[in-house]
Structure 1
Amino acid sequence: MLQLFSCGFHTIHHEGIIRNRPYGSGNYTFVFFNSNAEVKLQNDTMIIEKNTFIFFQPRTPHSYREIESPFINDWFHCNGDDLPEFLAELNFPLDTPVEASDPLLISRCIMELQNIYRLDGPLRERIMDCDLRSFFMKLTDLRERTAPHQLNRYYMRFTELRNDLYRFPHQNVSVTELAARLNLSKSYFQHIYKQLFGCSVMIDIINGRLERAKYLLDHSEMSITQIANSCGYENDTHFMRQFKKFVGISPRQYRFRNE
């Protein structure tokens, strides 16, 4: 079981900070730098830019200090008998600066870890174990799906747009209109989208509509025509054809599949 020893979300050091650990911290230490910092890792001194994280092993000599004030970071200390094996399975980077492709995800996860750490209850330790494993797997999944470095600057804006496609599937928007929202040409927008998420924007538009349609078929008494309109289709014929193509059965068959 993975154990969380201490945790800090958006810790602000108004007077700066100096952490000097010539023999390591004694446990695994995750530091997410929200501010630029000078880091000495073993025998190398480097400047770390904000939105970078390092996961230090227990016996790795390291130190860091601010190069701007106030210094802000998210951090936690953890350990576990099977943690080395778990990290090796994920091929998780250790003692290496890693630029975060989704800084908000890291901060949100550490905020939740801090909230759980402060709570009490019979399942607290198990929850922290699950949350820590989930955190490392999410970062690994992001790293494996990360687009080339030069596209990272688009990640947050494209992620927000992608979330909107799934949240508002009834909106009938074109790819040209989506590209215009980000002040990009249609072709370059499509290229970046595919690089970031591994699928075309049209596939996500369709998936968002069909996910909503399946929910309504399962949890409402709306007619097929009403569901088609609610999911952004101009007519139920197009809806039924696309549903059958991607789901494998008709909307009616899907609704009554368990009867």
Structure 2
Amino acid sequence: MPSIHYVEYDAAHQHDFVYSIPEGLDAWLLVLTQTPALFEVNGELQEYPAHSAVLYPPKHNIYYRACSRKYVNDWVRFDADESYITETVLPVGTPFSLPDPGYCHQLFQLLTLENSFQNDYRELSIDYLFRLLFNKLSEASQDKLTPQYYNLLDLRKTLYSNPGHPWTVSSMAAHLHISTGYLQTIYKSTFGISCMEDVIHCRIRLAKERLGYGQHKIAEIASLCGYANVEHFCRQFRQLTGFSPRAYREKLAAKQPLPRDEE
């Protein structure tokens, strides 16, 4: 299992911060940046954006430094002999962008907590967190992120957390300060679904939750899910689930089996 020497998140440094170890460490080093930084890659100094990850194996040249008013990162130095680390597909010594930096940041927070306390399953928990982290990094290293990716991701999280808002393509495009046509193109190419289809699916998921667990009237649920018209809500609900809202609620109440993707 991985053995942590030191792990830290939200480590902040001044504008003159430099980390240089030409001969490398005797351990692995994983760095996730929160600000832009300069990294030496193949003998050349290159600037990489915030939300980049870089993995250094033992004895690998390390050089990176701040390139703005401050430098902030999450980092962990550790030993490992597990194949998912030692035989990783991740590029070593070369930064790559993270599709969901907030997710990886939370994993660093959990790693720090687990490493700080002597809990009964501490080592096992740390190993699970490392496996999850390296899975996410492997996925990230294969992605080609568009310049608007992080803005799109923030928009999607906003949609998912508030599906009842009266979303329109125009309002979403205004949220990102781009045209409606461009939004529709990059949203579908990024997530495999159009922005309004995504909103509708979110609303129907919320409606199923309300129908199964609560005493709201169907008209109230329609309003909570962003529908001004109950008939329109019922029509879309049937299109996506195969049931009317009332029939769906009755089947759940009778504990009758629903198709797997409707549960």
1:110-151 Cα distance to aligned partner (Å, 9 max, x none)? 23322332223112222222222222222333444544xxx2
Cα shift at 1:199: 1.4
1:78 matches 2:72: no
> Sequence identity of aligned pairs in percent?
28
How many Å apart are 1:98 and its aligned residue?
Answer: 1.2
Amino acid at match of 1:81: D
Aligned to 2:120: 122
Matches within 5 A, 1:235-254: 235-254=229-248
Check whether the contact 1:145–1:196 (CA below 8 A) recurs between aligned residues. Answer: no
- Corresponding residue SS for 2:185: helix
CA separation of 1:173 and 1:35: change in aligned 2, threshold 3 A: closer
Partner of 1:188 in structure 2?
Answer: 182
**Pairwise CA distance, 1:74:** 1.9
Aligned to 2:198: 204
Residue in structure 1 matched with residue 109 of structure 2 by the alignment: 111
Q: 1:192 to 1:68 in 2, by over 3 A?
A: closer
CA displacement at 1:5 relative to structure 2? 3.0
Distance in 1, Cα, partners of 2:126 & 2:9: 15
When normalised by structure 1's length, the TM-score is: 0.82
- Cα deviation, residue 79, structure 1: 3.8
Q: Give the deviation of 1:220 after TM superposition.
A: 0.3
Q: Following the alignment from structure 1 to structure 2, what is the Cα–Cα distance between the partners of residues 87 and 216? A: 46
Relative to structure 1, is the Cα distance of residues 146 and 203 closer, same or farther in structure 2, using a 3 angstrom cutoff? farther
> Would the alpha carbon gap of residues 232 and 112 (structure 1) be closer, same or farther in structure 2, given more than 3 Å must change?
same
Deviates more, 1:43-52 or 1:224-233: 43-52
Question: 1:166 maps to what in 2?
Answer: 160
Partner Cα distance (2:212, 2:3) in 1: 40
Structure 2 residue 43 is the aligned partner of structure 1 residue 49: no
Gap change, CA 1:109 and 1:87, over 3 Å in 2: farther
* Unmatched runs of 5 consecutive residues or more in structure 1: none
CA distance in structure 2 between the partners assigned to 1:6 and 1:83 by the alignment: 21
Of 219, 222, 228 in structure 1, the residue corresponding to residue 216 of structure 2 is 222
For normalisation by structure 2, the TM-score amounts to 0.81
Structure 2: unaligned runs, 5 residues or longer: 257-263
- Counterpart code for 2:75: W
What SS class does the counterpart of residue 78 from structure 1 fall into? strand
Instruction: Say if 1:102 and 1:155, in contact at 8 Å, map to a contact too.
Output: no
RMSD value, Cα: 2.7
- 1:142-163 CA-to-partner distances (Å, cap 9, x unmatched) read 444544xxx23x2232222212
